[in-house]
Chains A and B, each alone.
Chain A
Amino acid sequence: MKRTITLLGSILLACTVLFSTVGLKNKNLVPGENEIKLCYSSTSTVAEKAMPFETSVDKVAAVMIRKNIYSLSDAEINSIKAGIAAMKALPITNQTSWQYQAAIHGTFTTPNSPAWNSCQHGTQFFLSWHRMYLYFFERILRAKSGNPNLTLPYWDYQTNAALHPAYRNSSTGNTLYDNTRNSSINGGGSLPSSIMVAIDNALNNNIPFFNFNSDLEGPHGSVHVSIGGNMGVVKTAAKDPVFWLHHANIDRLWEKWLRKCGGRTNPTSDNAWMNTKFTFFDENGHAVIMTGSQIVNTATQLNYRYDFPPKLPCNFSLDISKWNWKILKPLRVVNTKPFDKSRLKLSFAKTPVINDDFKLLNSQKLNFSTTGISDKVMIEIDQVKVSKLPEGTIEVYLNLPANETPSVKSKSFAGVLNLFGIGEHDHHGKETPISVNVSSAVKNLGLGASDLSKAELTFIVRGNTLNGKEIKTEDNIQIGAVNFVIHKAQAQ
């Protein structure tokens, strides 16, 4: 056994060699003097012994759901702790051990064992390799935990930038704790908000996949460094349990990007991305080869998805350059009232503001197409002042019936306010309006453009969920005015 490991370790090949066998046509990494050669991939010997991955998704069983760490029950978190404890109890020579799995990402330990140091950073495989890595790690953790329903949770730092308390509890035996992290993070502090802006920029500005892949890597790396300790360095990052929370979120952001449609698709026509082989180990310690073509659809190929609300598929492909949008701002309501018991209701019927766009309102026909560019109805919230942010979010409802309990499952649910950045540099009010796309609610309620002049908006402060229950949260928020903004799609 020892001889085998030594032999395998001695013939590790640089990943660029592996790439060359599949005809690399890299969008982000051009072989040559400036190529970033961080990674060392699996050996041909390992590849020969490894089995190709075969999807074993049970067509009858429900797709497993990866959830927000803040929505997990104590029992679910305890399962994760138990799985980590079982993995940590194994020696580094065991491919399913905590140390071996961490070393697949990176390690200072020598000599190399099969698949060690094979992480992909600064390459076109950043997102795809980490998806594969998480998939097999999740299978191992599930098996070790004894909980067949275990899935990896994610940390959505864009809605809660503080690390979950279970990962900060320094009690002896807490396998989620890592004392090498920066004290600000283990002490309950938050990540800098600019990381979240950079993530939004990557989600919104980049349509070709490889641009998104590389632009997301910057804020991803800053999360690592801001957490610090093991997480701050590639070769030790996966030793920290937070690594898996963080990368589950990166994987979720990839899905979020796809759900934005508008031509966002996976690069399935790119031969290198689809067919380059990477080696991992399953829950039985067997080497498995996986390619990009096998991880394109998480639900059908890997039997998991994230807890996004249902959405229509992007069943169309558009040439956006042939379209533009006519912007109408027909309605505005000014508000002087504060939130009352974490709730604020505004009616457009009471304070109409007549302008040229208002005169056009009744003649507008809203087109919410699923096969072409769709119109959008937005609300723009002006002069938002916050002296105390809620520990949660603010939900927006359109025409919420008086007798209906507000719920995100309601037809009236329109979205949430992004309060991120408020109070960061500007304590007196947000410079730019907060926009919320309320098109889904307008469509679900069957409203026409003229109905908007009678519309009511309800804002509700919703505390984060802890152990399945909503926490009570205090807030002090003021909204100065709200505009309805209609984006009419027009062919050029």
Chain B
Amino acid sequence: MCTYKTSDTVTIAQSQKAITFQKGEKFCRIPLVFSGNSPLKTNIKSLLVFEQVTVDPLPEGVYEIYLVNNSKNEKKVFSAKSRDFINVLDLYNLSDKPIVINISNSIQQLGLQNKSLSELSVVIFFNGNVLPDKRKVRHNSKLSIGRIRLVQEC
């Protein structure tokens, strides 16, 4: 979705293990572990990189991506109107290349400081299409992600 080149970016935080978001599950919370090698800056381009993404079958709805900076947040329902919402995961163009989302605005809005990175999580929330009777289509896909990294321009 936007410029991403390994040599021009530095990893600030990343997930620690492969992620599987099973069908039937409503959301998936993935803690990001702060590398400590480089401080988070709020005034430069920040990207969330989803590597080795596969999905089967394509979902009847969207995967919403949230950046939550409180690991004790027990919220189970997420709203795209909230500050935590970043974007939807674009699976239309799925290939072996990473999916990259620009989170520069979110980093600024959330007011993230280095100390809060230890509590940073990515939440993937499935939001199904809305049926005429207002019920939502359930999550019936398997989404796998090898790793999520928060990177910034060098």
Contact = CB atoms under 8 A, between A and B. Distances in A.
B97 A36 contact: yes
Interface in B88-133: 88-93, 95, 97-98, 101-102, 105, 127-132
Q: What size tier do the contact residues of chain B reach?
A: 35 or more
A188 B136 CA distance: 13
Interface in B137-152: 137
A24 to B, nearest CB: 13
Nearest to B9: A34
A426 B79 contact: yes
B58 A195 contact: no
A185 interface: yes
B87 A29 contact: no
B87 A215 contact: yes
B102 A214 contact: yes
A205 interface: yes
Interface residues of A, number: 53
A356 interface: no
Given A192-B127, A421-B79, A218 B132 contact: no
A198 B103 CA distance: 12
Given A226-B129, A424-B79, A232 B1 contact: no
Interface in A181-205: 182, 184-185, 187-195, 197-198, 201, 205
Q: What does DSSP make chain B's interface, helix, strand, loop or mixed?
A: loop
A214 B87 contact: no
Nearest to B63: A222
A334 interface: no
A233 B91 CA distance: 9
Contact of B80 (A228, A232, A421): A421
B90 A217 contact: yes
Given A36-B97, A198-B80, A187 B92 contact: no
A225 interface: yes
Q: Specify which of B93, B97, B105, B136 lies most central, judged by the most chain A CB atoms within 10 Å of its CB.
A: B93
B115 to A, nearest CB: 26
Contacts of B2: 28, 211, 214-215
Given A195-B88, A221-B91, A122 B1 contact: yes
Contacts, number: 149
A38 B92 CA distance: 12
A211 B92 CA distance: 19
A34 B6 contact: yes
Given A192-B128, A219-B88, A232-B92, A28 B3 contact: yes
B46 to A, nearest CB: 13
A234 B92 contact: yes
B92 A221 contact: yes
Contacts of B72: none
A191 B88 CA distance: 13
A194 B5 contact: no
Q: Specify which of B3, B61, B80, B97 lies most central, judged by the most chain A CB atoms within 10 Å of its CB.
A: B80
Given A214-B102, A234-B93, A431-B81, A201 B87 contact: yes
A224 B92 contact: yes
Given A187-B132, A226-B61, A218 B87 contact: yes
Interface of B: 1-8, 58-62, 64, 77-81, 85, 87-93, 95, 97-98, 101-102, 105, 127-132, 136-137
Interface of A: 26-30, 32-34, 36, 38, 121-122, 161-162, 182, 184-185, 187-195, 197-198, 201, 205, 211, 214-215, 217-222, 224-226, 228, 232-234, 237, 421, 424-426, 431-432
- Nearest 10 A/B pairs, CB to CB: A221-B92, A221-B90, A194-B80, A197-B80, A184-B129, A214-B2, A190-B130, A192-B127, A224-B92, A222-B88
27 contacts: A28-B3, A30-B3, A33-B6, A36-B97, A184-B60, A184-B128, A184-B129, A187-B132, A189-B130, A190-B130, A192-B64, A192-B127, A192-B130, A194-B80, A194-B88, A198-B88, A201-B105, A219-B88, A221-B92, A222-B89, A224-B92, A225-B91, A232-B92, A421-B81, A424-B81, A425-B79, A425-B81
Given A34-B4, A222-B62, 18 more contacts: A34-B97, A122-B1, A182-B60, A182-B137, A189-B130, A189-B137, A190-B129, A192-B128, A194-B64, A214-B3, A214-B102, A215-B1, A217-B90, A218-B101, A222-B89, A233-B58, A425-B77, A425-B79
